[in-house]
Amino acid sequence: MSLRTTATDYVEDVSPGRGTLPPRARYASSDAASLSLNGRWRLRLSATADAEDDAFAAPGYDAGDWAEVTVPGHWVLQGDGAFGAPAYTNHLYPFPVDPPYVPTENPTGDHLRVFDLPEGWPAPAGGDDAVLRFDGVESCARVWLNGTDIGEFKGSRLPHEFAVGALLKPAGNVLAVRVHQWSAGSYLEDQDQWWLPGIFRDVTLLHRPAGCAGDFFVHASYGHATGEGTLRVDSETGGRVTVPELGIDVATGEPVTLPVDPWSAETPRLYDGVLATAGERVPLRIGFRTVALEDGLVKVNGKAVLFKGVNRHEWHPERGRALDPDTMREDVLLMKRHNVNAVRTSHYPPHPAFLDLCDEYGLWVVDECDVETHGFVEQDWRDNPTDDDRWTPALLDRAARMVERDKNHPSVVMWSLGNEAGTGRGLTAMADWIHSRDPARPVHYEGDHDCRDTDVYSRMYLPHAEVERVARGLDGGSRRRRDLPLVLCEYAHAMGNGPGGLADYQALFERYDRLQGGFVWEWIDHGIRHPELGYAYGGDFGEELHDGNFVCDGLLFPDRTPSPGLIEYKKVIEPVRIEAGDAAGTVRVTNRYDFADLSALEFTCSHQVDGRTAGARRLAVPPLAPGESAEVELPEAPDGEGAEVHWTVRALLADTTPWAGAGHEVAWGQGAVTHRPAVPAAGPGSGVRPVADGGRITLGPASFDARTGAVRTIAGVAVEGLRLDVWRATTDNDDGAPWQPDTRYGPLWRELGLHRMRHRTVAVETGGAGSGGGDGEALVVRTRVAPAGREQGLGVTYRWSSDGTLVQLAVSVVPEGGWTVPLPRLGIRFGLDASVTGSVRWFGGGPGEAYPDTSAASRLGRWEAEVPDLQTPYVRPQENGARADVRWAELGGLRIEGDPVFWFTARPWTSERLDAARHLTDLVPGDTVWVNLDHAQHGIGSQSCGPGPLPRYELWAGPAEFSFVFSGQRGSG
């Protein structure tokens, strides 16, 4: 026993480690005994790697006064701050770039666990009959069992095994693990995420009986031309392979070909089998499928697939990257229920159980290696470990640990070398090794724009126009690249409100064969539950360097509630397209699956009269094959008698599936039968005139301040501060990322002063030609709205009229001066007394928020919600909650009808408050509900990392006219 050493050279050694077993295939279970060592462990934290010697690893050491942590877990997320704190950086290393050295301040957690072998654990049969497995430790661990130093390893999100049979005792085994937060390995793990040290995945002791299975490779291909599958299991330990359902019983290494149902993400057919060696029976879940690069496309079972994917980091708001099985399953179910068909495991191999779920439920997986060296971009990639031979063994070790572990998953259809690691010989070596070890899967890596090492052309955040150029072969590039499909491994940055433009991307993906879809960035916000802040993001733990809320850029909020972005994505990628047919009274239904026909779906049709549903009926749609479409006659529409009538067709699961119940909505479409009738103008010609009385003016049911022309009450309801509004609390996409080369409007809006517009009253006219008020039946208030210090402004005229019951506000806007930026929004806002506001009812788009380029999922209907529920809880507060295409809305005793339709927003605080808030907990409802009725909104785009809104979604100042008719609320509407 060589204790009392503090040698820590291994920490800064570029080699992958010492003492571990070669990587091998992973399987969920077998009949060999295993013992989970998850649970409560003793923890002693030190500030440096060498602060303590290794006496703690010796049997008999008294750790009674140490703290405790839960394994799997990250110590910084336990102990209420007593064990240090998480830190977030996007690409900057949070330590000096001085490879392979790491700071002397290197939080080091000594972990101790004493365990007995359970009853029935087979008696020791010599040296090699047990393996100790670590599924994930960040970032470097040294391990002792019963006082013997058994080795150390790096590669945080990869498995590492040690042979420990010779060291085990029936009882009182002492497992000691020293974990260093920083190591040479950290240079290869610069992913955009929290730095979270700890033993964050399972620790397991595995019995390895004599004759147990070693590594094995399940080759299960599918010949789409013959309908036959070929199975061959190559196994280090020979044995037999049985698949009872197929009558297969063959020796390992022996191929067998027979008719099978293929596996695909849409039809995840698995066959249960067994690999039986002399000493072990390993259950197999076999999916027959063939991935091939053919005709410049990635094809599975002979068909080009369209990836409707997401980038998934492992995340839980309390446990970080230590995910429990339920959370993993929830991710898969949420993906399936939102029509997602693919996952890129950004940017490391996930917990192995996640891939079992992908096999079972059906998701295409791009399995990505635990490699990112993005911080080297700061020095133009000089000294990049991926182009330095000294690091190549570590890179190859990582590639092998991923491929060997995950190679038997049918869901894995591509290997990815890593992310944002520049280019270099190390990456080429990884690609070469992977190609030779598994020629049956393409290799992906985004950083390789010439596609020297890769089999798909992968890019991130390409603007729509650029995607189209590639699609049309106009982008040049290497000869090899021109023959490959384009996959956007990241696009549509889902940070805060957004991403915008999804539907426009999808239209391109569907139009051009060369485009095989993409993966939205990213699945979930990595907010950390925090007692005061709600969810914490970068900087909230006092980090020296950080990237703020750039870590909250997911389609799910941290608690896994879908954000509007996910609802939008679900609609955009729906596998059935339902749109108005060519002939009146028909609907065109198109099957957009790659493999499945429509027999699993049933269709309903209903009609809405002024948004109110009048009966739903089954609609007979033929079981169309992929790519086929049919025009189907709709049931006769009800007579709307001058009302607006539309149809809604929904595609629902006919039967319960493993991922959703019968009746789950997969897709929907709507169309107009009759259009919205004209909104009656209230006032002109009615003879109702403004009447001045002291400081007040009365006009029908409205009263005004005679001096300013400001409206005070409408139908007895107090109305506060009604005026033109152009400001919105800038979204992350408005603000853009600092490195964005293109114009970022958020900062320009602020620079121009759009958040502090001044309103100058030019005239208040109560009628008579002489006063310039036109017909004398209106109250006309002329103003100029402009920011201090600038010549740009908006001439705004509010024209109020009434027929005695209704009161109409017509707003006309004329820009003055040269406008060089679009407007955030254009409309009016006013306040209502919060104590009487009550719930909001509206006829228009809903139920969730929508903006010009995020409105695919906005469904026309009648909706009702409380004001708090109209708010979208973006982790960093920002503009949110607009409802699109609103015909009328009712709240606080008022009914508001728009001409034309408008964007409706109501919040219990002002936009200014929203703008100033850093966390949701900064927002406290006030006494006033602030209502925005917008004629137009600027698009959302994706500029927090990608391109801004497409030009057609920009809101440029131009002459505009819009009006609203106010009346007392009608009660039932």
Residues near ligand GAL, by CB under 6 A: 90, 191-192, 347, 419-420, 460, 490, 493, 521, 550, 553, 945
Provide the token pair at 371: 């490699």
Least CB distance to ligand GAL at residue 31 (A): 41
Strand 486-493 relative to strand 457-460: parallel, antiparallel, unpaired? Answer: parallel
Least CB distance to ligand GAL at residue 92 (A): 11
Least CB distance to ligand GAL at residue 534 (A): 21
Residue 439 carries which DSSP code? T
Least CB distance to ligand GAL at residue 620 (A): 45
Q: Decide: 368 and 313 in contact? Cβ < 8 Å.
A: no
Instruction: Please choose, from the candidates 911, 833, 853, 849, the residue with its C-alpha nearest in 3D space to the C-alpha of residue 886.
Output: 849
Q: Residue 298 forms beta bridges with which residues?
A: 293
Task: Name the phi and psi angles at 55, rounded to 5.
Answer: -60, -30
Place of tokens 């939102």: 338
The nearer residue to ligand GAL, 276 or 377, going by C-beta atoms, is: 377
Q: Decide: 350 and 312 in contact? Cβ < 8 Å.
A: yes
SS3 583: coil
Q: Decide: 146 and 167 in contact? Cβ < 8 Å.
A: yes
Least CB distance to ligand GAL at residue 945 (A): 5
The nearer residue to ligand GAL, 154 or 493, going by C-beta atoms, is: 493
The nearer residue to ligand GAL, 282 or 365, going by C-beta atoms, is: 365
Least CB distance to ligand GAL at residue 446 (A): 7
The nearer residue to ligand GAL, 192 or 879, going by C-beta atoms, is: 192
Least CB distance to ligand GAL at residue 311 (A): 7
Name the CA dihedral angle for 917, 923, 926, 932, rounded to a multiple of 10 degrees.
60
Place of tokens 């009609």: 607
Q: Which residue is nearest to ligand GAL (CB)?
A: 192
The nearer residue to ligand GAL, 149 or 553, going by C-beta atoms, is: 553
Q: Residue 850 forms beta bridges with which residues?
A: none
Show the DSSP H helices in 21-94 as ranges. Answer: none
The nearer residue to ligand GAL, 143 or 555, going by C-beta atoms, is: 555
420 is catalytic: yes
Least CB distance to ligand GAL at residue 375 (A): 12
Strand extents, DSSP E, 236-386? 239-243, 248-251, 256-259, 271-277, 281-286, 291-294, 297-300, 303-304, 307-311, 342-344, 364-368
The distance from CA 723 to its chain's CA centroid, rounded to whole angstroms, is 37
b/e for 665-675, b at 16 or more Cβ within 10 A? Answer: ebbbbbbebee
Least CB distance to ligand GAL at residue 630 (A): 41
Whole-angstrom distance, CA of residue 385 vs CA of residue 391: 6
Instruction: Please choose, from the candidates 141, 188, 149, the residue with its C-alpha nearest in 3D space to the C-alpha of residue 17.
Output: 141
Q: Residue 367 forms beta bridges with which residues?
A: 415
Whole-angstrom distance, CA of residue 83 vs CA of residue 77: 8
SS3 158: coil
Q: Decide: 426 and 353 in contact? Cβ < 8 Å.
A: no
The nearer residue to ligand GAL, 149 or 547, going by C-beta atoms, is: 547
Dihedral sign for Cα 369, 550, 326, 110, please: positive
Whole-angstrom distance, CA of residue 588 vs CA of residue 581: 5
Least CB distance to ligand GAL at residue 404 (A): 25
Whole-angstrom distance, CA of residue 339 vs CA of residue 698: 55
Which residue is catalytic, options 12, 314, 446, 490? 490
Amino acid at 802: S
Which residue is catalytic, options 280, 314, 372, 420? 420
Least CB distance to ligand GAL at residue 192 (A): 3
Q: Decide: 944 and 498 in contact? Cβ < 8 Å.
A: yes
The nearer residue to ligand GAL, 191 or 802, going by C-beta atoms, is: 191
Residue 124's Cβ-count burial label (10 Å; 0-12, 13-18, 19+) is middle
The nearer residue to ligand GAL, 192 or 574, going by C-beta atoms, is: 192
Region of 173 (left: φ > 0; alpha: ψ -120 to 50; beta: rest) is beta
The distance from CA 597 to its chain's CA centroid, rounded to whole angstroms, is 28
The nearer residue to ligand GAL, 280 or 525, going by C-beta atoms, is: 525
CA distances from 392 to 389, 425, 454 (A): 5, 8, 18
Dihedral sign for Cα 638, 639, 643, 646, please: positive
Least CB distance to ligand GAL at residue 43 (A): 30
The nearer residue to ligand GAL, 93 or 668, going by C-beta atoms, is: 93
The nearer residue to ligand GAL, 161 or 446, going by C-beta atoms, is: 446
Dihedral sign for Cα 505, 508, 509, 510, please: positive
Whole-angstrom distance, CA of residue 69 vs CA of residue 352: 23
Task: Name the phi and psi angles at 388, rounded to 5.
Answer: -140, 115
> Which residues form the catalytic set?
420, 490
